């Protein structure tokens, strides 16, 4: 059974710092991996999608990498801003079954202090 773990559970950084969020998954048989942002009490906003054949994806100040064989992904946020404060969720789409469901980690709560 696929398990997704995110470390650290919480992270507090000063504004302007570059930071890395980590995600690991137990089964490398995945189709893709998605990073989401969740603001308190709100929905999930898709940030980046990395297909299993890709190594990284970039969007603005965000860069996500994927090492499928070792079951790891990282989300790099450059020049962090207070508006980046949120919970960041990692989710994988496992092979098998309907092939379309996502398995989520518990998230990393990021606080960027002005």
Partner 1 sequence: EPEVTQTPSHQVTQMGQEVILRCVPISNHLYFYWYRQILGQKVEFLVSFYNNEISEKSEIFDDQFSVERPDGSNFTLKIRSTKLEDSAMYFCASSAADTPSNTEAFFGQGTRLTVV
Binding site for partner 1 (CB under 8 A): 31-32, 34, 36, 41-46, 49, 51-53, 89, 91, 93, 95, 97-107
CB of 83 to partner 1, least distance (A): 18
The alpha carbon of residue 93 and the mean position of all alpha carbons in its chain are separated, in whole angstroms, by: 13
Residue nearer to partner 1 on the CB measure, 40 or 114: 40
CB half-sphere exposure, 31, CA atoms < 13 A: 11
User: Alpha-carbon distance 48 to 36, whole Å?
Assistant: 7
CB of 111 to partner 1, least distance (A): 17
Residue nearer to partner 1 on the CB measure, 43 or 83: 43
Per-residue buried b or exposed e for 29-41, using 16+ beta carbons within 10 Å of the residue's own CB? ebebbbbbbeeee
Residue nearer to partner 1 on the CB measure, 52 or 63: 52
């Amino acid at each position: 059974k696929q398990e997704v773990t995110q470390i650290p559970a919480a992270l507090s950084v000063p504004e302007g710092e570059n930071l890395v969020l980590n995600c690991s998954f137990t089964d490398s048989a995945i189709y893709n991996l998605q990073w989401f942002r969740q603001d308190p009490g709100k929905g999930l906003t898709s940030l980046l999608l990395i297909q299993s054949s890709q190594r990284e994806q970039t969007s603005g100040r965000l860069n996500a990498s994927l090492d499928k064989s070792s079951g790891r992904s990282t989300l790099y946020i450059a020049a962090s801003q207070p508006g980046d404060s949120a919970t960041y969720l990692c989710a994988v789409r496992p092979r098998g079954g309907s092939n379309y469901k996502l398995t989520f980690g518990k998230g990393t709560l990021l606080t960027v202090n002005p």
